Amino acid sequence: MSNLSGFYASTDSLKGIYYGPGCISTALPKLIQTLGVKKGLIVTGRSLAMKTDVLNKVAEVLKAQDAYAGVFTEFRQHTPIADIDACVEAFKDAGADFIIGLGGGSPICGAKGAMYRIHEQTGELPPPQIAIPTTLSAAEYTMAAGHRKEDGEKGSVTHQHLPPAGVILDAELSMPTPTRLWISSGIRALDHSVESLYRPFVSHPVKILCYAAMADLFKYLPISKADPDNVEARQRLLLAAWMSLWPMKWEEWSVAGPSHALGQRLGVRYNIPHGVTSCLTLSPIVAVQARLASAEDKKYMESSLFYLGEPSTGSTDGDILKLSALIAGLVERLGLKSALREYNVPKEDLVMLAKGDADTLEVLNGIY
């Protein structure tokens, strides 16, 4: 099917996205009123809870609305299934009727996983989530909830009502996020936007938003690294992450692109942050697309150079390879270049990770 044909709608659950530095104080009360909810459980990770004042700022707004039910801080990286089960019990014990996912992809995905578990137990629609991201991983825009299964493998569930009912993009709340985590999650957002140019079921208008996301990520990630206190750069990056994975109602759940899928395998099995996996896999995966992608998908990738303000090489495949090189250059400029061996990935595991695909094995050998 041509990308000039298709269907687009917002998600079933999304009621609003508020954005702007300092908007938490007005956006959260508005969303509580819009949703008609009473008591919210904040779910986050220990680092954000123990090392920053972000949790207290959000809790204060909730308490002012008499809507504070408590805090769950036990979500770890890659969202182990045990953490989801513990969150469900905390939600019930607190008498909450909505969840606030605060932080990076793990607590926001974990909140979605808990909502799905409650849906399974009650047979009712999942309770609503208000997502407040402090990284650029963009987990708040999908209906999928990823987690680490008990056997250590990646798992996920999907439901049309799992996307957050509200999203608050407040750059001021991201200020305590460590710079390396912040900018590497920005490469994760870049992964989303680039791979949306060639993964299935992404509509043409959304691809155009991805070009805008790519341009802003290339521009503002270096600025944010050089000046971590630059609130405007952080706010623009939060908006770029939104554009990189625009919330949609999927008639059929879109498959992950190959960089994203390989990153999930690496991240869950070897406990590598997803932002770091994108730094490893995205550039070489794009280079492979110069050989494998359809003519239409190649045209979308080729056009990205225009939006990045880069001259064409004169050929479609050359432009795709140039895009790959630009991504690698950005990763290196941000100080994020690394190799699989640095994360104790055994060389003998590469064949297993490739799952019989020669191109994936070539990528893995190249980044080892």
For the chain, give the longest Cα–Cα distance: 63
Regarding whether 59 and 164 lie in a shared domain, the answer is yes
Regarding whether 282 and 225 lie in a shared domain, the answer is yes
Residue 4 within a domain: no
* Tokens (6 digits) for 209: 């938003």
Burial class (CB in 10 A: 0-12, 13-18, 19+), 190: buried
The region that residue 309 occupies, defined by phi over 0 for left and psi between -120 and 50 for alpha, beta otherwise, is left
Residue 8 within a domain: no
Residue 345 pLDDT level (bands cut at 50, 70, 90): very high
Query: For position 141, which CATH number holds?
Result: 3.40.50.1970
Regarding whether 192 and 86 lie in a shared domain, the answer is no
Domain limit, last residue, from 174, 196, 229: 174
Regarding whether 217 and 167 lie in a shared domain, the answer is no
Regarding whether 197 and 69 lie in a shared domain, the answer is no
Residue 150 or residue 257, greater confidence: 257
Residue 2 within a domain: no
Query: For position 252, which CATH number holds?
Result: 1.20.1090.10
Residue 93 within a domain: yes
Which helix (H) or strand (E) segment holds residue 41: the answer is strand 40-43
Spatial CA neighbour of 144 closest among 126, 132, 156: 156
* Tokens (6 digits) for 133: 């991201």
Regarding whether 204 and 352 lie in a shared domain, the answer is yes
What's the rounded mean pLDDT across residues 51-73?
Answer: 97
Regarding whether 80 and 25 lie in a shared domain, the answer is yes
Regarding whether 320 and 229 lie in a shared domain, the answer is yes
Regarding whether 230 and 129 lie in a shared domain, the answer is no
Q: Which domain holds residue 76?
A: 16-174
Residue 253 or residue 242, greater confidence: 242
Regarding whether 343 and 289 lie in a shared domain, the answer is yes
Residue 154 pLDDT level (bands cut at 50, 70, 90): low
Domain limit, last residue, from 174, 189, 221: 174
Query: Backbone phi, then psi, for 161, in 5-degree steps?
Result: -105, 15
- Contact by Cβ (8 Å): 328, 307: no
Regarding whether 218 and 188 lie in a shared domain, the answer is yes
* Tokens (6 digits) for 9: 């709608």
Residue 7 within a domain: no
What's residue 248's pLDDT? 77
DSSP code for 164: -
What's residue 149's pLDDT? 66
Rounded distance, CA 353 to CA 162, Å? 29
What's residue 317's pLDDT? 97
Residue 9 within a domain: no
Regarding whether 236 and 193 lie in a shared domain, the answer is yes
For 280-317, the pLDDT digits (tens) are 999 999 999 999 999 999 999 999 999 999 999 999 99
What's residue 151's pLDDT? 55
Q: Residue 245 corresponds to which amino acid?
A: L
Range in 42-46, 70-74, 249-253 with the lowest mean pLDDT: 249-253
What's residue 201's pLDDT? 85
For 107-142, the pLDDT digits (tens) are 998 999 999 999 999 999 999 999 999 999 999 998
Domain limit, last residue, from 117, 144, 174: 174
Residue 235 within a domain: yes
Total tally of structural domains belonging to the chain: 2
Range in 35-44, 252-261, 347-356 with the lowest mean pLDDT: 252-261
